[in-house]
Structure 1
Amino acid sequence: MPSPDPGPATPAVLPTADALVALRERLGELDDLQQAAGLAGWDEQTKMPPGAAAARGEVLSTLSRLAHARLTDDDLHALLQQLSAATDLGDQDRRLVAAVARDADRARRVPERLVADITRHTTTAQVAWQEARAAGDYAPFRGPLEQHVAYRRELVACFPEAAHPYDVLLHNFEPDLTTERVTAVFAQLRDGLVPLIRRIADKPAPPALPGPFPVEQQRVLGMEIARAQGFDDDHWRLDDAIHPFAAALGSSDIRVTARYDDQTLTGLFAVMHEVGHGLYERQAAPTLARTTVGTGVSLGIHESQSRLWENLVGRSEAFWSHWHPRAVELFGAAALGGDDLAAFLKAINVVRPSLVRVEADEATYSLHVILRFELEVALMEGTLAVADLDAAWNTKTRELLGLDVPSPTVGVLQDIHWAYGELGYFPTYAIGNIVAAQLWTVIERDLTDLDADLAAGETSRLREWLREHVHRHGRLYSPTELLQQITGSGLDAQPFLDQLTAKYSALYDLEA
């Protein structure tokens, strides 16, 4: 008579030090798979010929399936359970184990098949988005987006305890936040921004910069500014993309992209923005390499780094007192409306509602994010159909920005995120504005004479402050813990509103 099946063998309990070694070996493999997918994704956006889209989709699907399998593996689960209960871990190892355990617990709820289907569909949807955008027609993208929404509803069903379906998507990017909390913070933001923007609208707009700004000269100045921020040829690349983005393939391989327009300087600000993202990854602690934890703790915190460089540094008087003469040298004084720095600062800080989020000014930008957040919540609640998204977008644009949308290319099709199915991502942009302002309040207190540094083209003290307080920790602290540790408070829109009010009151001579 055969012996009864004993079932799967119970993994041996290792000494804590050996268990940590085994965990790091497994995380190294997982991180390698994620970096390979990141490289394939970067190439997809920058170098890949269009005809390779279907094949690339299969590659990315396989990589995502393998990474998911590694993260949900029973042996990894056993290691994490053992180490989570261990009492002899150091603080960094304890936090690393907790972060990976959260990732694994969430991943184990999601079928491997769904992960692969979502990734495979992303490449198809991206091609459809590009074709729809080029044609100025929402219709070709409607079907692929409907499938993305269907997949996200499957994902939500894996977490039946969620208080709101959108919470599940939001937690992919902001693990500490809920739909209810974001709604409340965005209401505070809207209530502060709308009257400020109306007050500014009553004042004459400063003249626009005449231009043109030849792309090659923008590339030269953009690279010089990037190098001043911390870009170096041994560890970074700067390329062109339809939609600017940053991709980190580990801390020693940072890819950033930009998109230039010879009638504006938006390409320069895109470079500053993306290098800000790249610095977060570049300055993570070396001990976090190949652990999956040496990256930004949330996309809102990540976005705070890019918005800090783009706006709080990149649109400041101190910064341009150094770089304006170089801009005059490259573009000519006529293109810049003369060589007057004060006039230039007013032009690059103009506040006027516009259609395109990535080109929006610092004050109206968050209204673009609120628009997308409200639409995404409605899609997940089922109160808005994908078929009606184009019309709903146009209605909300009139409501929030007072503008009519002439074409889906500058409306519902302007962003790439929905082609990736990244519902839940957009709120992180406005959260980044809020967090950047909170951090800047502390930075100005800690770094006396920072304006003198920027006026000399020097950013090393600022970079070091960001490394020490934000970047080096990777994902060891939760977003809430990190923000509390640095600022003494949770997410709070008031510093952002206060900074905007002070800045634009001075630029536009607003009455108190």
Structure 2
Amino acid sequence: MNSYEETYDLVTSHVREAAILESIQELLEWDERTKMPAAGGNYRADQAAYVAGLEHRKQTDPRLGEWLTELAESPLAADQSGDTGTVIRHLRREYDKQTRKPQKLVEELTRAAVEGQQIWAAARKANNFAAFQPILEKMVDLKKQEAAALGFETTPYDPLLDDYEPGESTENIAHVLSNLRDALVPLVQAIAESGQRPDVSILERTYPADAQESFGKQAAAAICFDFTAGRLDSTDHPFCCMLGPNDVRLTTRYDEHWFSDCFFSILHEAGHGIYDQGLPAEHYGLPTGEYVSLGIHESQSRLWENQVGRSRAFWEHFFPSAQQAFPQALGDVTREAFYGAINDVRPSLIRVEADEVTYNLHILIRFELEKALLEDQLSVADLPGAWDEKYMHYLGVASPTADDGVLQDVHWSAGLFGYFPTYALGNLYSAQFFGQAQEDLGDLDAQFRRGEFSNLREWLREKIHRHGKRYSAAELAERITGKPLSHQALIQQLSVKYGELYGL
């Protein structure tokens, strides 16, 4: 073994230890949001901050910087998309970012995120933004400090966005979202003017929570989420996390009088989980075993939730099972009436319950607001009013209560600024990937009608999952579809589907 290989082994051993610490962080967060008693929040913040400090010291160890400097000019780095080249390239980039952040700031951000999520949950339950305002002000200030430490040329939003979409820029995101908005608005208007309204009361009948859990797990398993290497639990705000190879946790929430909330969140989180389970387990802890970006991760969840789970073909297979699971709610309902109800399009207040046509307008609102907070164009105190103004402007609705308005999302309490745009990017990528899969795999609808989803899962694993971070999100889209990221595939799919549903 030559000296470069020995150094490379030191690097991989070091970062795998950091990955263990990260997985402990994930476990602490999963427990906090699913099982931990409310009174445990203060000490959990101390635990999380301590582990975050250990992880940051590991990530910024000067020895790691020396090793990576040595490897950067070595033959192991020559092929930037090869195993060793991918690892060296991404670790060097991440090391440079982490060493710019003071450890005290990292620990403060972690502590504030734990406290913030606890305060947010209580404030949302009490419909009391004033109770949440102080911790949000603290979090915004900490994120500004983080952006300043990382450095930026144009906007403090850029370095925070980079955490989720490496190499992406705020300017490009704004451009992409504005193009999408301009194409969506006339489609939403045409649907509204069609005069057709599905009977959504079908979804508001009684759906027992235990039956929702059983049916949701049945569907998640059918689309190839492996429950021998994962589980499903309940939480206030659904999420998916990976605690390590063969340990992926899904969560959902149950409303016995709204079918879609639980079922589609299970499909959505299962899509995330399928991606996590498809990453090469032998590369866990290394860039070759990590997801590309949150936009690509979100493309997997939105693909299974929308392109598959809201399709007519999916329900031609699953509707009889749904009637068996919920005989009182669906016994007298036709499949077409149910299909129309789950694809109802109308402006709404709640992002996670929004239809796939208006969903991205919810994202645009959050992107504009958090960008304004970071650029000192909006104060936290004025956030509720600004929220309502934008909802009225973009969707024509405003919430009379904060719990269905500015307090509905957990993200800002956890310090996830720059995260929201990845949802919209995920919708765009998912449409392009699904369109290509249809070309490559033939009649996917016919396969879905037969309950066959493994071909699509294997296509995604081959094209996306197995590559880890070898390619950027933009490069991956080009490699798979031959086209750059665009709103056109999504608009085309939505226009065809909803043109048929609403007679456009």
Partner of 2:271: 276
Q: Does 1:127 align with 2:127?
A: no
Question: What is the deviation of 1:291?
Answer: 2.1
Cα RMSD between the aligned structures? 1.4
Q: Deviations over 1:257-313 (max 9, x none)?
A: 011211122211110000100111111123312325522211111000000000000
* Residue 308 of structure 2 is aligned to residue 320 of structure 1: no
Q: Gapped runs of 5+ residues in structure 2? A: none
**Worse-superposed segment, 298-307 or 171-180:** 171-180
Unaligned runs of 5+ in 1: 1-12
Partner Cα distance (2:245, 2:282) in 1: 11
1:414 aligned counterpart, secondary structure: coil
1:408 maps to 2:408: no
Q: Which amino acid aligns with 2:169?
A: T
Question: What is the distance in 1 between the residues matched to 2:231 and 2:221?
Answer: 11
1:389, 1:161 → 2: CA distance? Answer: 25
Whether the 8 Å contact between 1:293 and 1:476 is mirrored in structure 2 is yes
Of 63, 66, 81, the match for 1:75: 63
Q: Give the Cα separation in 1 of the matches to 2:44 and 2:150.
A: 30
CA deviation digits over 1:409-453, x for unaligned, max 9? 000000000110111111111111011001111110011122222
Which structure has the larger Rg?
Answer: 1
Q: Who is 2:298 aligned against?
A: 303
Q: Which residue in the other structure is 1:21 paired with?
A: 9
2:90 maps to 1:99: yes
Which stretch shifts more, 348-357 or 223-232?
A: 223-232
Q: Structure 1 residues 58, 292: closer, same or farther in 2, change over 3 A?
A: farther
Alpha-carbon separation, structure 2, partners of 1:384 and 1:455: 50
1:267 aligns with 2:267: no
Q: Kindly provide the amino acid, as one letter, of the partner of residue 3 in structure 2.
A: P
Q: What percentage of residue pairs aligned between the two structures are identical?
A: 42
The correspondence for 1:433, drawn from 406, 427, 436, is: 427
In the alignment, the residues of structure 2 paired with residue 287 and residue 92 of structure 1 have an alpha-carbon distance, to the nearest angstrom, of 12
Secondary structure of the residue aligned to 1:506 is helix
Contact 1:209-1:337 within 8 A present in 2 as well: no
The question of whether the paired residues in 2 share the 8 Å contact of 1:226 and 1:275 is answered with yes
2:329 alignment partner AA: A
Separation (CA, whole Å) in 2 of partners of 1:379 and 1:293: 35
Matched-pair contact (CA < 8 Å) for 1:100–1:293:
no
SS in structure 2 opposite 1:249? strand
SS of alignment partner, residue 362 of structure 1: coil
Q: 1:481 aligns with which of 461, 467, 475?
A: 475
In 2, the alpha carbon distance for the partners of 1:183 and 1:235 equals 38
Residue 207 of structure 1 corresponds to 199
Task: Tell me if the contact between 1:162 and 1:168 (Cα under 8 Å) persists in the aligned partners.
Answer: no
Moved more, 97-106 or 450-459: 450-459
Amino acid at match of 1:487: T
Query: What residue identity is the alignment partner of 1:94?
Result: G
Match of 1:256 in 2: 250
1:176/1:479 contact within 8 Å kept: no
Q: State how far apart, in whole Å, the 2-side matches of 1:116 and 1:491 are.
A: 36
User: Retained in 2: the 8 A contact 1:209–1:344?
Assistant: no
Which residue in the other structure is 1:286 paired with? 281
474-483 or 137-146, larger mean C-alpha shift = 474-483
Question: 1:72, 1:483 → 2: CA distance?
Answer: 32
In structure 2, how many angstroms separate the alpha carbons of the residues matched to 1:167 and 1:407? Answer: 32
Structure 1: distance between partners of 2:128 and 2:376:
24
The separation in 2 between residues aligned to 1:307 and 1:415, in whole angstroms, is 18
In the aligned structure 1, how far is the partner of 2:331 from the partner of 2:429? 34
Counterparts of 1:214 and 1:287, CA distance in 2: 40
- The match for 2:417 among 408, 420, 423 is 423
In the aligned structure 1, how far is the partner of 2:385 from the partner of 2:443?
Answer: 50
Asked if 2 retains the 8 angstrom alpha-carbon contact of 1:437 and 1:496, the reply is yes
In the alignment, is the contact (CA less than 8 A) between 2:345 and 2:358 conserved in 1? yes
Residue 155 (structure 1) aligned with residue 146 (structure 2): yes
Tell me how far apart the structure 2 counterparts of residues 63 and 317 of structure 1 sit (CA, whole Å).
Answer: 47
Map 1:139-288 onto structure 2 (within 5 A): 139-202=130-193, 203-210=195-202, 211-265=205-259, 266-288=261-283
More helix by share: 2
Q: Deviations along 1:382-409, whole A, 9 cap, x unmatched?
A: 1100000011001111111101211000
**Matching residue's letter, 2:128:** D
3-state SS of paired residue (1:475): coil
Which residue of structure 2 aligns with residue 5 of structure 1?
none
Contact 1:296 1:471 survives alignment (8 Å): yes
2:313 matches 1:330: no
Deviation string 1:24-61 (CA, Å, 9 cap, x unpaired) is: 11011011000011011100000111111111111111
The whole-number CA distance in structure 2 between the counterparts of 1:239 and 1:506 is 37
The answer to whether the 8 Å contact 2:151/2:159 transfers is no
